[in-house]
């Protein structure tokens, strides 16, 4: 046996009557859809559930799978301590998943438990499943800061484990959609919120799970999404299987997207193996980006690749560089990303070499090998890197935050010998207050210390 089906469900605490105290009626269509999804799972008669939740402890580089024989939880944090559940873990299946993950090079396991109780992202699906009469062992799976492909690979490991142990399994992907759908919602509004929800619900309707892997990370971050990586693991668990998608509902009543869909497995389908298609799409995207790089970025790439592959820095400037690079002196930052996740950033606020070109050469190598937040780059990572180069203008003092603009100006926060710097126009930094706060903390400057502000403009090359 293997997977017979999967569902995507949200986890709004307010949907429970003991928490909502009447407000649950405002999303009655979500409740009705939830019960329909739970009943479908009951009809499938699973022997085990795999449930992924964004609210299990999450690590940047590790997928946590809660340990133990049993667990329990309640809704006390939402004012309903008497609403309780307990559940049994699928111990043998969990052990096999971890072994399969290790063999596949996916960092996953039971280490790092911080809270053994049920999180609400697990509790709410299980609540509806119990209501439908489903009470079978569960393997809970957390998310991580790793790539979409890594989450998909974990799903493949889960599928192999289910098949090896001959279990009749159902995947429950718990996750809300955007948290920024309405001005009157608790998280406010961002234009990316509705864009994200439309893209994800279209993937639910069509069963095109490749969409879950290829959504633009910066858009997802600005949308304040919750469940995408949960859906990516589910997609991997259904790798190579045909599905019949049934989209049940989407709701944004409280400013958060709640989507529910059912995927009934119809049999093998070799056209639904998305890992290779994702990798092909990524290679094509990176090739297009590399082909469009200007001389500033090309120099940064050449400098770092030469150093990583030979152990030696460039000892001469390449021919044909613009005079703006070879005759001008200025500070410069080189930033490295892999799929929009920062992989290194080092720079100089004022010139330390004879030209912008040498500044880029120096800082590109440092960004890849000496950023204390990251291990030195491996050669295998070079082809995945995306570069940006910021050439800095001269910093100037400002009297107050009113003279800053988070999109136009970078900021330097200074107190005595301590200072922190943040570049302008960064994803996730939307206000001057955020910009100052991040720069202040980078400089280890307390919020009550009488710091001074400087601003600077940059020319960004990507």
Confidence of residue 430 (pLDDT cuts 50, 70, 90): confident
Confidence of residue 92 (pLDDT cuts 50, 70, 90): very high
Establish if 381 belongs to a structural domain.
Answer: no
Asked if 112 and 176 sit in the same domain, the reply is yes
Average pLDDT value for residue range 231-239: 98
Tokens of 339: 């799929």
The model's pTM is: 0.85
Establish if 155 belongs to a structural domain.
Answer: yes
CA angle 253, 255, 256 (to 5 degrees): 95
Asked if 274 and 200 sit in the same domain, the reply is yes
Tokens of 179: 């948290």
Looking at residue 353, which CATH number applies to its domain?
A: 3.30.700.20
Write the DSSP string, 212-237. HHHS-HHHHHHTT-SSHHHHHHHHHH
Asked if 405 and 370 sit in the same domain, the reply is no
Residue 418's φ and ψ, nearest 5 degrees, are: -90, 140
Establish if 379 belongs to a structural domain.
Answer: no
Q: How far is the C-alpha of 210 from the C-alpha of 169, rounded, in Å?
A: 22
In percent, the amount of the chain with pLDDT more than 90 equals 93
**Please, which residues bridge with residue 63 across strands?**
108
Asked if 56 and 110 sit in the same domain, the reply is yes
Query: 């001057």: which residue's tokens?
Result: 432
Q: How far is the C-alpha of 284 from the C-alpha of 279, rounded, in Å?
A: 9
Asked if 218 and 94 sit in the same domain, the reply is yes
**DSSP, res 43:** H
Establish if 74 belongs to a structural domain.
Answer: yes
Establish if 286 belongs to a structural domain.
Answer: no
Q: How far is the C-alpha of 444 from the C-alpha of 451, rounded, in Å?
A: 11
Give me the pLDDT at residue 450, please.
92
Looking at residue 209, which CATH number applies to its domain?
A: 3.40.830.10
- Domain boundary pick from 316, 339, 374: 374
CA angle 301, 304, 310 (to 5 degrees): 130
- Domain boundary pick from 343, 374, 405: 374
Q: Which of 227, 226, 217, 223 is nearest to 190 (CA)?
A: 223
Establish if 388 belongs to a structural domain.
Answer: no
Establish if 383 belongs to a structural domain.
Answer: no
Q: How many structural domains does the chain have?
A: 3
Asked if 132 and 107 sit in the same domain, the reply is yes
Asked if 225 and 89 sit in the same domain, the reply is yes
Query: 């930033």: which residue's tokens?
Result: 335
Domain range for 445: 393-462
Asked if 209 and 266 sit in the same domain, the reply is yes
Average pLDDT value for residue range 446-450: 90
Asked if 204 and 123 sit in the same domain, the reply is yes
Quick: pLDDT tens for 111-141: 999 999 999 999 999 999 999 999 999 999 9
Asked if 298 and 276 sit in the same domain, the reply is no
Give me the pLDDT at residue 447, please.
86
Asked if 275 and 302 sit in the same domain, the reply is no
Q: How high is the mean pLDDT of the chain?
A: 95
For the chain, percent helix, then strand, then coil, each to nearest 5? 40, 25, 35
Q: Are 387 and 451 in contact (CB under 8 A)?
A: no
Q: Which of 332, 330, 319 is nearest to 362 (CA)?
A: 332
Establish if 382 belongs to a structural domain.
Answer: no
Quick: pLDDT tens for 312-339: 999 999 999 999 999 999 999 999 999 8
Average pLDDT value for residue range 439-453: 92
Asked if 361 and 449 sit in the same domain, the reply is no
Quick: pLDDT tens for 26-65: 999 999 999 999 999 999 999 999 999 999 999 989 999 9
């Amino acid at each position: 046996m293997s997977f017979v089906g999967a569902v995507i469900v949200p986890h709004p605490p307010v949907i429970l009557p003991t928490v909502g105290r009447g407000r649950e009626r405002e999303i009655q269509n979500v409740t009705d859809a939830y019960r329909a999804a739970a009943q479908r799972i009951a009809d499938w008669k699973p022997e085990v559930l795999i449930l992924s939740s964004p609210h299990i402890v999450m690590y940047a580089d590790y997928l946590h799978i809660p340990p133990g024989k049993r667990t329990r939880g309640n809704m006390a944090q939402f004012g309903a301590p008497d609403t309780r559940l307990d559940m049994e873990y699928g111990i043998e299946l969990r052990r096999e998943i971890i072994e399969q993950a290790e063999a596949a090079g996916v960092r996953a396991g039971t280490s790092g438990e911080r809270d053994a109780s049920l999180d609400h992202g697990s509790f709410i699906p299980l609540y509806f499943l119990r209501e439908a009469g489903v009470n079978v062992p569960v393997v809970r799976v957390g998310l991580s800061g790793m790539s979409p492909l890594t989450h998909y690979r974990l799903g493949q490991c889960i599928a192999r484990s289910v098949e090896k142990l001959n279990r009749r399994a159902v995947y429950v992907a718990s996750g809300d959609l955007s948290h920024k759908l309405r001005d009157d919602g608790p998280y406010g509004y961002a234009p990316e919120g509705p864009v994200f929800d439309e893209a994800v619900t279209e993937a639910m309707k069509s069963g095109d799970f490749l969409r879950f892997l290829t959504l633009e990370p910066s858009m997802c971050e600005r949308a304040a999404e919750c469940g995408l990586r949960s859906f990516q693991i589910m997609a991997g668990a259904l790798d190579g299987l045909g599905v019949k998608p049934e989209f049940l509902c989407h709701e944004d009543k409280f400013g958060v997207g709640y989507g529910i869909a059912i995927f009934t497995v119809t049999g093998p389908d070799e056209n639904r193996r998305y890992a290779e298609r994702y990798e092909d799409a990524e290679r094509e995207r990176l090739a297009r980006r590399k082909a469009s790089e200007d001389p500033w970025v090309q120099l940064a790439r050449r400098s770092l690749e030469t150093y990583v592959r030979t152990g030696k820095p460039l000892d001469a400037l390449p021919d044909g560089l613009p005079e703006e690079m070879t005759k001008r002196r200025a500070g410069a930052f080189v930033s490295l990303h892999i799929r929009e996740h920062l992989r290194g950033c080092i720079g100089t606020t004022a010139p330390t070499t004879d030209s912008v070109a040498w500044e880029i050469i120096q800082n590109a190598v440092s960004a890849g090998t000496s950023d204390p937040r990251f291990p030195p780059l491996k050669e295998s990572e070079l082809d995945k890197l995306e570069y940006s180069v910021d050439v800095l203008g001269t910093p100037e003092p400002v009297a107050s935050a009113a003279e800053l603009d988070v999109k136009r100006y970078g900021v330097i926060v200074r107190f005595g010998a301590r200072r922190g710097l943040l570049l302008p126009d960064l994803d996730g930094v939307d206000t001057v207050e955020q910009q100052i706060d991040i720069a202040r903390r980078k400089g280890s400057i307390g919020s009550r210390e009488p710091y001074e502000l400087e601003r600077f403009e940059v020319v960004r090359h990507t």
